[in-house]
Structure 1
Amino acid sequence: MFVSEEGNDNSPGTKDAPVRTLQRAIGLAAHVRRNGQAPTRRVYACGGLFEEAISLPQGVDIWGGRLCAGGDWSYGGPLDEQNVLTVIAPPVGIPVRVLGGDDDAVSAEEDATSVIFGVRVEAADASARDGKSSIAMILEHGARAIVQSSVILAGDGKDGEPGEDAPSFRANAGVVGNDGVDACTANMAPGALPVVTVCGDGIESTGGQGGDGGLETGDHGTSGLPEPVGTPDNRGSAGTGASSMPCADGGRGGDGADADRAAGAASAGLLGVEGWVGPRGENGKPGGVGQGGGGGGGGKGRDPMNACPAGRPQGGAAGGSGGSGGCGGKGGKGGDYGGASIGIVALQGSDLTVEDSKVLGAKGGNGGVGGTGQWGGLGPDGGHGGHSLGPDWSRGCAGGGGGNGGRGGDAGGGLGGHSLGIGSVSATVTLGYKATVSPGQAGTGGIGGNSTPERPLGKGNDGTAQFWYRFDAPDPEPPQ
C-alpha cells in the first residue's frame, strides 16, 4: 500500500492512487484484500511530513524515504541529511506504537516481525499520556520490530509540579478547660467536665476532668489524653485533691511530636503501555496531637478548725478541667516526578533490533519540590478551680493547659526524569554495528519542602542518563 502527502484516504492505496495518511495505509496493508488475496503487509511512504501517531500491527512493514516524483516510488540511496526521510511527527502522543501478538490482526505466525525503514520519528516535548514524558516509539508486549536506516528522536520531558503545601495557618487549637464550681455550693461539688478536641485524623485530645470538691478531702483530677509519646517534660498529670495539704493544679499536657521530613523519590519508575511513570516524593506525615492538660484537684469544705458557713452546703470547691491539646499539622504532598525522554520503549516479551539507525533521548524534566508541612494547633489554658470562701484548702485547683500539636512533616522531592536511548523491561534488544543509541541530559531530583539547593534535604534521586536502561519488571498481581 502506498501513501503520499498528496494522496487521498478514499483512494485504494495503489502507486497511481495513494492514500493520504499512514494509518489508513497500515489498515489496508493489514487486512485481506477484496479479491481474497492475502494482506500486502507493506506500506511504502513518500518522503515528507506526516503529523499523525500510528499503531503498527505485528508483521506489517513501513518502508519510508520513497522518491515519489514521477510516480516511480524509488529509493533515493543512503538516508542522510541530503535525502528526505518519511517524518512521523504528531503534535501529541507517542508517534509509533508496534502492537504485540495479542493485538495482531495480520498473521498467525508467532515470529512475525515488523520492519521500520527510512523514517524519522520525532516525539513532541512532554507529549506522552502523563503530560510530562516524551517517548518516540513503543514496542508493546510480545511485539517484534527491526528499526533500520531510520532516526528515532524523543523530545524533552517536562519538569514535575511541586507538591502541594499544607495550609499556611495553624491546625485547630485545643479548647479551654471548664471552670470548677465554688466552695460551699454543694456537699459534693462535681469536678469540671472534660473538654475534647477531635482532629481531622479522628484522634481526640481530652483534657482531664477536675476533681470533686468534698467535705473532709477533695478528689484528684484525671490525667489528660492521649498519653504523650516519649519522655516530654510535661505529661498532663492529674492534680491531687486537698487533704492534709491544699489541692494541686493539673499538669500541662505534652506537646505532640513534630513529624520528620519525608524521603525523596528513589525508585526508577515503571514502564507500561502508555510509556513511563515515575514516583512522587513521599508525602509528609501529620504531626502528633497535643495531650490534654490534667484536671485540677478538688478542695475540701472543712477541717477541725474551719468549715463552710452554717446553713450552706459544706463541700469544697471543684477543680477545673484541663484544656484539650492542639491538633497536629498536616504534612505536605510529595513533589511530582519529572518527565522522561526515551527514544524507544520495549516492553515484556518484545524483540527489538536497531540497525544503521540513530536512537536519541533528549532532556529529562526536573523533579518537583516537596510541599511544606503545617504548624500544629496551640494548646490553651485549663479551667480555673472554684473559689474558696476563706481558707486556702477549700479552693479548687486549676486544670493544666493543653499541649501544642506537632508540626506536620515536609514532603520529599520527586524523581528527576530519565534520558534514555532505549528503555526496556524483560525484552530482547539487539544493536547492530552501525547503530547509534545515546541519551541526553537527565533531570535532577526535586528537593524536599523547606530545604535549599545548598542543603537539599529530602531530595529525590536524579534521573538516569544511559544509552540503554533495563527496568525491573513490576511485581505480579496477587491471585484473587
Structure 2
Amino acid sequence: MLTACGSYSDDCWERLECPPDPCEGDPGTAPALDICGVFVSEQGDENNPGTKSAPVKTLQHAIGLAAYGRGNDELPTRRVYACGGTFKETVTLPSGVDLWGGRLCDDGDLPYAGSYDGPNQWTTIAPPGRIPLRVIEGENATATSMIFGVRVVAADASAPDGKSSIAMILSEGARATVRESEILAGNGKDGAPGEDAPSFRANAGMVGNNGADACTADEARGAPSVVTVCGDGIESTGGPGGDGGIETGGDGASGLPESVGNPPHPGRGGFGASSMACKAGENGADGADAERAAGASGAGLLDVNGWVGVRGEDGKKGGVGQGGGGGGGGKGRDDMSVCPTGRPQGGAAGGSGGSGGCGGKGGHAGDYGGASIAIVALQGSAITVEAGSKVLGAKGGDGGVGGTGQWGGLGSAGGNGGRPGPTIMSRGCIGGFGGKGGRGGDAGGGLGGHSLGIGSVGASVAILEGCSSHTDIGITADSRSAR
C-alpha cells in the first residue's frame, strides 16, 4: 500500500518509516531552504528565480511564485521567506500560502537557517496608501496562511474611501493565523461638516393688493390675491379681498395654505359690511420651524473596501407662512347717505392679504468619520491571533457636525381697503399680514469612526493569550458621532 513518502510491507504490519519533512517546524527555528519557499529581499531582482542566493524584489511577486511554482514543472512551495526591511507595496495573499518574515539578510549574506530575528528585523508592509494586506480564499478552502514575523502598517486615512485606515482584510472564505506579528491601523479622518443652508432669509411674502375705492363701481371687485412660490410646488397665497357692494360688502377669503392645528392667527378673511362695518382680514399663521435632524446611528458596514459609515440626516425645510386673510368689502348705501348722484353706488373693495414667507432650507448632514481597524474579517473567513502579536487600531475620526438651517422669510402686509365714500360703512377693510416662514432644521452629525483591533461580520475570530488587542471584536466599539 503506497503512501506519500513510502510503503507498507506485504503483511501490512511492518511500516517503512518516512524521512522527516525538511520544511516542517516552527517558523522561528525551522531551516529556510529553496525547496521550502521563495525568497524576497529589498535588494532582490524581479528577474531572479526567488532562491536563497537569488531572491526576488517584491513580496507580491514572491507570493505568486510560491502559489504557482517557479516554472520548469516545479511544484508550488506555498511559502515566502522575507528579509527584514520595509516593502512599500500592497499585498494579496491567497489562503494556504505562508508569509514568514523577519529574516536577517545583512550585506547580501543570506544565512536563512536559524536567522529569524523577530522584532529587531521586522518584515514591514507599509504602502503610502490603500490597504496593505489582503488575504483571499485560496484553491484549498480549508488551507490557512501563517503570517509570521511581519509588521503591517496602514497609513492614516488610506482606505479607498479616503477616510478610514485598515491594515488587513480577510475576504469571504479566507483563513489566516497571525503569530509574532504586528497589525497596526493608522488614524481615521474626521468626517467633513455638513454644509450650512444660506445665511440670508428665505424669500419674503408679497404685499397684498389694494382694494378699489367706493363709488367707482356698483360692485367693486375685491383686490386679487398675491402668491409667493417657494419651490417644490409649495405656495403661499394671500386671500383676495371682499367685493364692495350697494347693500352689503362681500367677505374676504382666507389665506393659503390652510393653517394646521389652532394657531393664534388662522388667516381668516374679514367680513363684509352689512349691519356693521367691514372687518380686516386676519394675519396668516407662521410656518412651523423644522426640528433638528437626528444624528447618525448604527454600526456602519464592513465590506471589501473596509468600513462604510453613516451620515446624519439632512435638515428638513421649514413650513411656509400662511397668507393673510382678505379684508371685507364695504357697502355703498345706508340710512345716512349714498354716493353722489350719477356715480356708481357700490362700497369700496377689501384689500387682499399679504402672502407668507417661504420656509428656510435645512442644513446638510455631517459626513461620517473614518474608522481605524487593524483587521477586517468578512463573512465566512477565519482569523486566529497567536502569542506575541499586536493587533491595534488607532483613533477613529470624529463624525462631521451637521449644517445649520436657514431662517424663514418674513410675511408681508396685506393691501389697503379702498377709500370710503360718504360714510364709514362704505370703506373697504385691509388684508391681513402673511405669516413668516418656519426656520429650516439643523442637520444631524455623521457617525464617528470605530477604533477596533478586529472588526468582523460572520467570521470565526480567535485571540489567544499573550496577544495585544485594545478593542473588543465587532463593529460597535468606540463610535462617536457629532451633532
C-alpha deviation, 1:355, in angstroms: 1.1
Contact in 2 for aligned 1:89/1:124 (Cα 8 Å): yes
Query: In the alignment, which residue of structure 1 is the partner of 2:330?
Result: 299
The counterpart of 1:21, out of the listed 58, 62, 65, is: 58
Report whether the alignment pairs 1:56 with 2:93. yes
- Measured in 2, the distance between the counterparts of 1:77 and 1:34 equals 28
Q: 2:147 matched to which residue of 1?
A: 116
> Paired residue for 1:93, among 107, 110, 130?
130
| Cα shift readout 1:325-345 (whole Å, capped 9, x = no counterpart) | 111111122222222211111
CA distance in 2, matches of 1:14, 1:343: 32
Provide, for residues 160-201 of structure 1, a one-character-per-residue CA deviation record: whole Å limited to 9, x for no partner: 222211111111111111111111222221111111112133
Query: In the aligned structure 1, how far is the partner of 2:273 from the partner of 2:192?
Result: 61
**Displacement, 1:38?**
4.0
* Letter aligned with residue 302 of structure 1: R
Quote the residue 2:121 is aligned against: 84
Kept in 1: contact 2:182–2:391 (CA 8 A): yes
Is structure 2 residue 433 aligned with structure 1 residue 426?
no
Matched, 1:181 2:212: yes
Matched-pair contact (CA < 8 Å) for 1:253–1:293: yes
Q: 1:266 aligns with which of 280, 287, 297?
A: 297
**TM-fit CA distance, 1:147:** 1.3
- Counterpart of 1:413 (choices 445, 463, 472) is 445
In structure 2, how many angstroms separate the alpha carbons of the residues matched to 1:142 and 1:228?
60
CA distance in 1, matches of 2:117, 2:467: 15
Residue by residue over 1:17-42, the C-alpha shift from the partner in whole angstroms, topping out at 9 and shown as x without a partner, is 32222122223333355334443332
1:58·1:143 contact (CA, 8 Å) conserved in 2? yes
Residue 338 of structure 2 contacts residue 422 of structure 2 at CA under 8 Å; is this kept in 1? Answer: no
Distance between the aligned counterparts of 2:443 and 2:373, measured in 1?
A: 28
Q: Which stretch shifts more, 266-275 or 436-445?
A: 436-445
- Whole-Å separation in 1 of the counterparts to 2:158 and 2:447: 19
8 Å CA contact 2:334–2:425 kept in 1: the answer is no
Match among 317, 326, 333 for residue 286 of structure 1: 317
2:118 is paired with a residue whose SS is coil
Matched letter for residue 16 of structure 1: S
Offset at 1:78?
5.8
Correspondence for 1:468: none
For the residue of structure 2 that corresponds to 1:137, the secondary structure is strand
The aligned residue for residue 111 of structure 2 is 72
CA distance in 1, matches of 2:215, 2:163: 74
**Superposition deviation, residue 250 in structure 1:** 0.5
With normalisation by structure 1, the TM-score equals 0.87
Aligned to 2:5: none
Letter in 1 for 2:448: G
Deviation at 1:71, TM superposition (A): 2.6
Decide whether the 8 Å contact of 1:46 with 1:73 is kept in 2.
no
Q: Which residue of 2 aligns with 1:467?
A: none
Letter of the structure 1 residue corresponding to residue 454 of structure 2? I
- 1:368 paired with 2:400, answer yes
- Which residue, 225, 236, 245 being the options, matches 1:214? 245
Residue deviations 1:380-411 (CA, integer Å, cap 9, x gap): 10111111222111111111110001111122
Q: Which deviates further from its counterpart, 166-175 or 58-67?
A: 58-67
Determine if contact 1:65/1:75 at 8 Å carries over to the other structure.
Answer: no
- Alpha-carbon shift at residue 58 of structure 1 (Å): 2.8
Share of identical aligned residues, percent? 69
Matched, 1:254 2:290: no
In the superposition, the TM-score normalised over structure 2's length comes to 0.86
State how far apart, in whole Å, the 1-side matches of 2:130 and 2:114 are. 29
Report what 1:456 is aligned to: none
Superposed CA deviations along residues 251-310 of structure 1, whole A, max 9, x for unmatched, are 000001111122222212211111112222222221111111001111122234422222
Greater CA drift, 288-297 or 437-446: 437-446
Q: Kindly indicate whether the alpha-carbon contact (under 8 Å) linking 1:210 and 1:298 is maintained by their aligned counterparts in 2.
A: yes
Asked if 1 retains the 8 angstrom alpha-carbon contact of 2:42 and 2:85, the reply is: yes
Paired residue type of 1:22 = L
TM-aligned CA distance change 1:363 to 1:84, over 3 Å: same
1:365–1:442 CA contact under 8 A, matched in 2: no
CA distance in 1, matches of 2:83, 2:56: 11
Please give the alpha-carbon distance, in whole angstroms, between the structure 2 residues aligned to 1:74 and 1:205: 85
Q: Quick check: which has more Rg, 1 or 2?
A: 2
| Structure 1 residue aligned with 2:24 | none
1:362–1:439 contact (8 Å) kept in structure 2:
no
**For 1:256, what is the secondary structure of its paired residue?**
coil
Structure 2 residue matching 1:438: 3-state secondary structure: coil
| 2:354 aligned partner | 323
Find the aligned partners of 1:115 and 1:62 in 2 and give their Cα distance. Answer: 6
Q: 1:405-436, CA deviations, whole angstroms, 9 ceiling, x for partnerless residues? A: 11111222222222111111111001223222
Letter paired with 1:76: S
In structure 2, how many angstroms separate the alpha carbons of the residues matched to 1:393 and 1:399?
17
C-alpha displacement at 1:223, in angstroms?
Answer: 0.5
1:4: Cα distance to partner? 1.0
Number of the residue aligned with 1:44: 81
* Alignment check: 8 A CA contact 2:141 2:173 kept: no
CA contact (8 A) 1:67 1:74 kept: no
Task: Report the equivalent of 2:481.
Answer: 445
> What letter corresponds to residue 392 of structure 1 in structure 2?
I
Pairing 1:223–2:254 present: yes
Cα deviation for residue 75 of structure 1 reads 4.6
Tell whether 2:196 aligns with 1:159.
no
Distance 2:55 2:353 in 1: 86
Contact 2:351 2:418 in 1 (8 A): yes
What secondary structure, in the 3-state scheme, does the structure 2 residue paired with 1:71 have? Answer: coil
1:370 deviation in Å? 2.0
Larger CA deviation: 177-186 vs 301-310: 301-310
Partner Cα distance (1:339, 1:203) in 2:
38
Q: Which secondary structure state, in structure 2, belongs to the residue aligned with residue 128 of structure 1?
A: coil
**Aligned mates of 1:32, 1:307 — CA distance in 2:** 114
Say whether the 8 Å CA contact 1:338–1:366 is kept in structure 2. Answer: yes
CA distance in 2, matches of 1:301, 1:38: 112
1:79-138 CA distances to partner (integer Å, 9 max, x unpaired)? 23xx20100001111111112x4xx4xx2x221222212100011111112222111111
| Residue of structure 2 equivalent to 1:464 | none
What is the CA-CA distance between 1:323 and the residue it aligns to? 0.8
Give the equivalent residue in structure 2 for 1:11. 48
5+ residue gaps, structure 1, are 449-480
